[in-house]
Amino acid sequence: MIIWFERLTLPKILFSVSRRIIDKDIKVCFPVTSKWGGVFLRFFSKIFPWLHKRGLILGVQQENGEALCYKAHEVATAVAKLVFEEYFSGREYIPANLLEHSSRVQRAFKAYFISVFKRKIFFLCAAEYACMKDSSLKGMKIQYYLDTIPLQSQFNKAVSRFLEGESRGFLNFVTAIKNNLPVRLLSFMIGFTSRQGHIGKYARLALDKRSKILVEFSRYKFSNDDYIFLFWLPKSDIESERVIMGFDRPDSPYSRENVNLIERKGLRWLNLKKNALAMHFRLWEWLRLLWMAFKDTPFPKLGKFKGVGVWRWKTMLEFAFFLEIWRTIFKKYGIKVIHQHQEHDFWSHIQALAVHLEGGFYFWFHWSVQRIPFSHFNAGYADIFFSWGKLHRDYLDMHDFEYRYMLDIGLIWDYIHDQDAGKRPLLKRNFNSDVNFVIALFDVGSNFWSQFSPYLESYFYRSVIDAILKHPCWAVIIKSKNGLDHLPGYEQIKDLIESLRRQKRCAYLAPADAPFAAFKDADVCVCHGINSVGSIAALCGKKAIHWDLAGDTRHPYYLNGAGKFIFKTNEEVLEALESLAQYSGNQGYIGDHSEWLNFLDPYRDGKGGLRAGKFIRSFLDFTDNGLDGDAALQKATEEFKEQWGSDRVYDFETKNVRLGDNIWLKAEQALKK
């Protein structure tokens, strides 16, 4: 038997030793999840030879040619659906005052299960694959010990229908105590002990009666001058002081440095981390909201106050409590529009419902054309979804993503079409005079739990740069999403780049630089995977090639793009590049996306941000003039239809009618033939 542990801890080492004493044939496996974890595992494996360490990865291809990551997301969706439908599809646990919005509450619970379950399923899928590929482990019975999660036994039962092996929970006492409801409420209340005295310490707002917009702050995205999450602001005529950046991400905490970044742009901010929310209330207000939530949340019936019933009650209580908190915050600060770009988790659903109940709306957009069957889309919600065009729209419709209106606005990054972009210095001026063919390289980032593994990304760069070195008249512009120094084999990549630099045949852009700066000087863009940047380059008239190392064969591009702008092997990519170089980039069909341009952006006029911004501005004006939220949203939508066409607006009720023409479903059906 093989025993897999999700994470290395001392209690698990001791437990595995006790199991080994009972059964000498047991093998114990731990995943390497960090540098120090690997060090400790090497140490323990010398003491206990039966203890094995394994690097787990989802960016490996299955027998069907697709990355294992795709299977993991699909299993996560299926397991969450099973647990939800068995225990949460009813309405008996929903407060009476929220029954009108029961589908929104249920969607929040489904989102919770997907977000929690998928982390476990990523591990299970990767471990199962590792056993299948390791001859010393293949064929042995598998037992998994997972860090305990809510509804562990229900999860174990559901996941056994999709994956081999037996799953069990391994109790982590620290986590169990932290997740206990009284402890969570107490930690929230402790926030009062650190009250800062006045609003300026945890908020800076324009305290007037105008409606405001709350946008989640992300430091990484904000460091870019072309801040993606505010693409709608510059041409909207919305005053910058009406835009509030909210601190609630662990990777972008409240700090003086981040506050300065925000204030330099003339924006306002709020500290909205859970331990800071209490600072927006007086103690009696907090107790009143807690009492309202407790009073309204249905208590489990006699005999059901155990297991699922208990967890469902306390989680519904927490939902109701934080719903009242967010409603109060939105009302207090006049927030009518929010954009929260965490991927549709339990908390973002609470915020979306809260702003709706306060007469506002929640909007979302997606900045990618990758297929990635993101499991969280199957529990997503937005009042307004800003889509590029049909390719985006159909992607959301083939998932169980709910919206009130979907508006086609075109490409969201206006700066790509900006007239002043031509004033930027040309990178190719720095290349030597023999260069006559320039290749721009792009990736989408990588990690061990995505379909784009660091190993594949490293192989992508090593292969293409090596090919460029062998062609003296070729040069490269490298634009990596997260840099290259974290990749396996980085030293080899670095040496290849240095060789090109010495020959004046390489330009390297920082991760924060706009992709336009790279592809505007290139004859062709070569992308790791089916990449959004390649599609954007095509919209700007450039040739683009997608090297599909992840096996994304269900992407619509495969309907007519294989051998044209999608390639699977190094040899195919190199042959395509040599053909383009030979004909000075005029080899008609290679890299040509022309048949897809209308699906990507039906406008192609650089006004995506303007359309979104004007819509938001109209809504704010209507609410400021006394219309309630629903009426204002309806009126803003009608105004959008009048200006841009009724065929650019779609409602959720007619989704099923449109599925017959869904381009993503057509791609899946074509693959099955």
Q: DSSP letter string over 522-561?
A: -SEEEEESS-HHHHHHHHTT-EEEEE-TT--TTSGGGGT-
Q: How confident is the model at residue 649 (pLDDT cuts 50, 70, 90)?
A: very high
In terms of domains, do 11 and 113 share one? yes
> Within this chain, do residues 262 and 322 fall inside the same structural domain, yes or no?
yes
What does the alpha-carbon distance between residue 468 and residue 570 come to, in Å, rounded to a whole number?
13
Q: With respect to residue 483, please indicate whether it lies within any of the assigned structural domains.
A: yes
250 with 334, same domain: the answer is yes
Q: Beta partners for 168? A: 145
Phi, psi of 336, deg, nearest 5: -115, -15
Rounded distance between C-alpha atoms, residue 87 and residue 102, angstroms:
15
> How sure is the predictor about 255, in pLDDT bands with cuts at 50, 70 and 90?
confident
Higher pLDDT, 236 or 370: 236
**Same domain, yes or no, for 441 and 579?**
yes
Calpha distance 638→271 (Å, rounded): 35
Given 575, 600, 625, the domain boundary residue is: 600
pLDDT at 199: 47
Cβ burial, residue 256 (10 Å; 0-12/13-18/19+):
exposed
Residue 340 has pLDDT above 50, yes or no: yes
Q: Please say whether the beta carbons of 79 and 117 come within 8 A.
A: yes
| Model pTM score | 0.90
Q: With 90 as the cut, is the pLDDT of residue 489 above it?
A: yes
Q: Is the CB of residue 246 less than 8 Å from the CB of residue 341?
A: no
**With bands split at pLDDT 50, 70 and 90, how would you rate the model's confidence at 639?**
very high
- 8 A C-beta contact, residue 370 and residue 452: no
Same-domain check for residues 69 and 121: yes
Percentage of the residues of the chain whose pLDDT score is greater than 70 = 89
Residue 504 inside a domain? The answer is yes
Return the pLDDT at 196.
Answer: 42
pLDDT tens digits, one per residue of 63-86: 888 999 999 999 999 999 999 999
**Is residue 558 over pLDDT 50?**
yes
Query: What is the residue type of 46?
Result: K
Contact between 356 and 383 under an 8 Å Cβ cutoff? The reply is: yes
216 domain residue, yes or no: yes
Position 571 pLDDT exceeds 90:
yes
CB 564 within 8 A of CB 585: no
- The pLDDT assigned to 419 comes to 43
Q: Where are the alpha helices (DSSP H) in 358-469?
A: 390-398, 454-469
Give the number of domains in the chain. Answer: 4
- pLDDT score of 299: 86
- The pLDDT of residue 133: 87
Starting at the edge strand that comes first in sequence, how are the strands of the sheet with 402-408 ordered?
203-204, 268-271, 243-247, 212-216, 335-339, 361-365, 381-387, 402-408, 649-651
243 and 168 co-located in one domain? no
We report the CATH number of the domain holding residue 436 as 3.40.50.2000
Contact 392, 601 (CB under 8 A): no
Least-confidence region, from 15-29, 128-142, 206-220, 297-311: 297-311
Question: Do 321 and 263 belong together in one domain?
Answer: yes
The pLDDT score that the predictor gives to residue 424 is 54
Q: Find the radius of gyration of the CA atoms of the chain.
A: 26
Flag whether 189 is in a domain.
Answer: no
Query: What pLDDT is attached to residue 321?
Result: 92
Q: Cβ(506)–Cβ(345) under 8 Å? A: no
Q: Residue 190's pLDDT band (boundaries 50, 70, 90)?
A: low
What's the confidence (pLDDT) of residue 182?
Answer: 65
Q: Give the pair of three-digit tokens for residue 49.
A: 């030879």
| pLDDT for residue 425 | 57
Burial class (CB in 10 A: 0-12, 13-18, 19+), 227: middle
Question: Any residues with CB less than 8 A from the CB of 138 and at least 6 apart, and which?
Answer: 131, 132
Q: How confident is the model at residue 301 (pLDDT cuts 50, 70, 90)?
A: confident
Question: 3-class DSSP state for residue 501?
Answer: helix
Q: Hunting for tokens 């409602």 — which residue is that?
A: 651
Nearest to 649 by CA among 407, 308, 337: 407
Q: What is the pLDDT of residue 512?
A: 76
Q: What is the pLDDT of residues 410-433, one digit of tens each?
A: 988 755 555 445 545 567 788 999
The full DSSP string for 99-154 is GGGHHHHHHHHHHHHHHHHHHHHHHHHHHHHHHHH-TTTTT--EEEEEEP-TTHHH
For 516, the enclosing helix (H) or strand (E) is: helix 516-519
C-beta separation of 198 from 205 below 8 A: no
Containing domain of residue 525, as a range? 419-600
Its sign, for the CA torsion 546, 551, 557, 562, is positive
Asked if 520 and 586 sit in the same domain, the reply is yes
- Point out the domain boundary residue: 576, 600, 624: 600
For residues 614 and 642, the answer to whether their CB atoms sit within 8 Å is: no
326 with 387, same domain: the answer is no
Span 380-386, mean pLDDT?
Answer: 93
Percent of the chain residues past pLDDT 90, beyond the cut: 52
The rounded distance, in Å, linking the Cα atoms of 157 and 78 is 12
- What is the number of alpha carbons within 13 Å of residue 669 lying toward its C-beta? 9
* Least confident range of 60-74, 93-107, 124-138, 295-309: 295-309
- Which pairs from 577-583 meet CB under 8 Å and 24+ separation? 577/439, 577/467, 577/524, 577/526, 577/545, 578/471, 580/437, 580/523, 580/524, 580/543, 581/436, 581/437, 581/471, 581/473, 581/474, 581/523
Residues 99 and 33 in one domain: yes
- Lookup: tokens for 184: 């969570």
pLDDT tens readout for residues 223-242: 655 567 888 998 899 999 99
> Does 475 share its domain with 573?
yes
Model confidence at 530, pLDDT cuts 50, 70, 90, reads: very high
Distance of alpha carbon 260 from alpha carbon 256, whole angstroms? 6
Residue ending a domain, among 577, 600, 623, is: 600
Residues 388 and 430 reside in one and the same domain: no
How does the average pLDDT of the chain come out, rounded? 87
Closest-CA residue to 52 (of 126, 125, 131): 131
Q: What is the pLDDT of residue 276?
A: 76
pLDDT confidence of residue 197: 41
Q: Is residue 167 part of a domain?
A: yes
| DSSP annotation string for 583-652 | TTT--TTTT--GGGHHHH-S--SS-HHHHHHHHHHHHHHHHHTT--HHHHHHHHHHHHHHHH-GGGEEEG
Check pLDDT > 70 for residue 293. yes
In a domain, 224, yes or no: yes
Q: Is 587 or 142 the better-scoring residue by pLDDT? A: 142
Can you give the pLDDT at residue 549?
93
- Whether residue 30 lies inside any domain: the answer is yes
Q: In the structure encoding, which two tokens stand for residue 131, read together?
A: 């056993």
pLDDT band for position 17 (cuts 50, 70, 90):
confident
Three-state secondary structure readout of 308-353: HHHHHHHHHHHHHHHHHHHHHHHHHHCEEEEECCCCCCHHHHHHHH
Higher-pLDDT residue of 141, 196: 141
| Domain assignment of residue 591, yes or no | yes
* 197-231 pLDDT per residue, tens: 444 556 777 677 899 999 999 877 676 555 678 88
- Give 25's pLDDT tier (boundaries 50, 70, 90): confident
Q: Tell me the average pLDDT across 528-540.
A: 91
Query: What average pLDDT does this structure show over 387-395?
Result: 92
pLDDT digits (tens, 9 = 90+) for 103-127: 999 999 999 999 999 999 999 999 9
